[in-house]
Amino acid sequence: MYKKILVPVSFDDDRNIEDALSIAKRLGDEDSLIVLLHVMEFLPSYAINYIPEGFNDEAKLAITGSLSELAVGLTNATVEVVEGHSGRTILDWADENAVDCIVIASHRPGMQDYFLGSTAAQVVRHAKCAVHVVR
């Protein structure tokens, strides 16, 4: 059983978050911590002038609320919202927080990333812990 399981959450429609959470729950035991992590991508510099002041803070609060709703059925879960590039930030967060396993939902890919989504592929290739990919 894994003791600290990271579940990166993207709110895209084609991600199977419910299955990822179910698998994370099965891979741990009652003492395992499941962390739901959402990475807010950095806004391009040209777009920053068009975003209302306080937008990022409001977005973080809304995302935290959505993650908390997803975590309701989990016994020992926490939520985290961080900013950065999704693949690199997931890997860095896992390293910095001693994660045993990452359970990541992958979208149905296009031809350029046929076998895995680009973020899932990056996590699988570079993670220093076990990775379970959900389709």
Model confidence at 112, in pLDDT bands (50, 70, 90)? very low
pLDDT tens digits for range 46-57:
888 888 888 889
Residue 111, pLDDT score: 45
Q: Of 18, 15, 83, 21, which is closest to residue 48 (Cα–Cα)? A: 83
| Segment 2-14 mean pLDDT | 90
pLDDT tens digits for range 12-22:
776 789 999 99
The pTM assigned to this predicted structure is 0.90
Instruction: Judge residue 66's burial from the number of C-beta atoms within 10 Å of its C-beta, 0-12 exposed, 13-18 middle, 19 or more buried.
Output: middle
- Decide the pairing of beta strands 130-134 and 2-8: unpaired
pLDDT tens digits for range 25-78:
999 999 999 999 999 998 888 888 888 888 889 999 999 999 999 999 898 999
The tokens describing 10, both together, are: 């993207």
**Integer Cα distance of 10 and 106 in angstroms:** 9
Phi-psi region of 20 (alpha: psi -120 to 50; beta: other; left: phi over 0): alpha
Which residues lie across from 104 on neighbouring strands? 133
Model confidence at 116, in pLDDT bands (50, 70, 90)? low
Residue 106, pLDDT > 50, answer yes
User: What mean pLDDT value characterizes the chain?
Assistant: 90
Phi-psi region of 76 (alpha: psi -120 to 50; beta: other; left: phi over 0): beta
**Integer Cα distance of 54 and 51 in angstroms:** 9
The tokens describing 65, both together, are: 């609320």
